[in-house]
């Protein structure tokens, strides 16, 4: 027997998780360049645009602290 039922189940869950993270990352990466354009259309100042980009760049790094 190559693996128990629990190991195979865990592998399926892990593959599903990887697919979900891949799709989520793709979506975030696709939208990210347009956030500043949208904010500018809403009337954001250059300082606010810089803040939006900074938050967009720094937030994944901060989120990795508790989640590894």
The residue ranges of every structural domain in the chain are 5-67
Number of helical H runs and strand E runs in the chain = 2, 0
- pLDDT, tens digit, 9 for 90 and up, residues 2-61: 567 767 788 888 899 899 888 888 887 888 889 889 999 999 999 999 999 898 888 888
The Cα angle at residue 12 between residues 6 and 16, in degrees rounded to 5: 145
- Interacting residues of 35 by C-beta distance below 8 A, sequence separation 6+: 52, 53, 56
- Give the predicted TM-score (pTM) of the model: 0.56
* Residue appearing with tokens 């399926």: 12
């Amino acid at each position: 027997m190559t693996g128990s039922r629990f190991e195979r189940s865990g592998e399926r869950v892990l593959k599903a998780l990887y697919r979900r993270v891949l799709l989520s990352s793709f979506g975030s990466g696709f939208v990210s360049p347009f956030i500043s354009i949208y904010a500018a259309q809403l009337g954001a100042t250059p300082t606010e645009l810089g803040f939006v980009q900074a938050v967009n760049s720094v937030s994944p790094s901060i989120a990795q602290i508790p989640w590894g």
